Amino acid sequence: MSETGQAITASIAFVSQVAKECEALAKLIKQEISQLFSHGPMDTVYTPGQWCSSYRTDTSGWIYSDVAWTLPLTPTRKRKPTAHLAFQMSFLCNNLEGGLSPEPLLHINLWDVPTNVRSEDFMGFKMSGLAPATMTRLRDGTARLFRWEAENGAADHWTFSLPLAHINKADDVREQICTFISLLLADVDAGEAALEDAPSVVRWSVLEETYEDRNDYYRVVL
């Protein structure tokens, strides 16, 4: 019996099991986020649309490297969505584009466009147009929230990230995802302050000098 053959079988079985668990987790996250908009105070602020998803494979074409689910949000008394709340699972983050993270990440995005891992609209680097305060925190290695300043007095758009493997049950989703979404939607400054005291939330920094030619790339602080 070939050891290589056994290793292949075990590896594919493991990836298949991970996929099942990630799809189950995604279903749970969608349920919990949807609940936020079914009762006060968020049900009086936003009307959610329908969830949509996107999947992207790695260079082999065999394995998903990123998957994302997006929920459009329409403010009360408006006819069209003005923001899109999304979560993105990125499994191969140990490169410059992924933030040099040794483990998979879960990104929570509130953007003006849907998160789509098959286009250019997904969480990854390079990343430009960040708010000046975010740039200051990135230089200090203390950024837990990426912020982009919105126009016409609208609330800023943002992203925060978590180690994917740390989200395992409903309480994790509520405490580490939904709580911060609610705070950020109500007041992005207060939400960002709460993230600063959350050890579960990933910190980001600029790249070290060895990557000085990589502007707009950032890395996980280990």
Structural domain contains residue 161: yes
- Enter the tokens of residue 163: 């180690």
Residue 19 lies in a domain: no
**pTM for this prediction:** 0.95
Domain total of the chain: 1
Q: Which two tokens stand for residue 46?
A: 């936003």
Which one-letter DSSP state was computed for residue 80?
S
- Identity of the amino acid at 135: M
Sign of the dihedral through C-alpha 103, 64, 87, 96:
positive
Answer whether residue 11 is part of any domain: no
Backbone angles phi, psi at 204, to 5 degrees: -125, 155
Domain residue limits at 116: 29-220
* CB atoms near residue 183 (< 10 Å): 17
Whether the pLDDT of residue 1 is over 80: the answer is no
Q: Let me know if residue 16 belongs to a domain.
A: no
In this structure, what token pair is assigned to residue 7?
């290793």
How far is it, in rounded angstroms, from Cα 69 to Cα 108? 10
Query: What's the CA gap between 9 and 156, in Å, rounded?
Result: 47
Residues 83-100: tens digit of each pLDDT? 999 999 999 999 999 999
| 1 lies in some domain | no
Q: How far is CA 81 from the centre of its chain?
A: 20
Give the pLDDT confidence score for residue 79 in this predicted structure. Answer: 81
**96 inside domain:** yes
Q: What is the pLDDT of residue 21?
A: 97
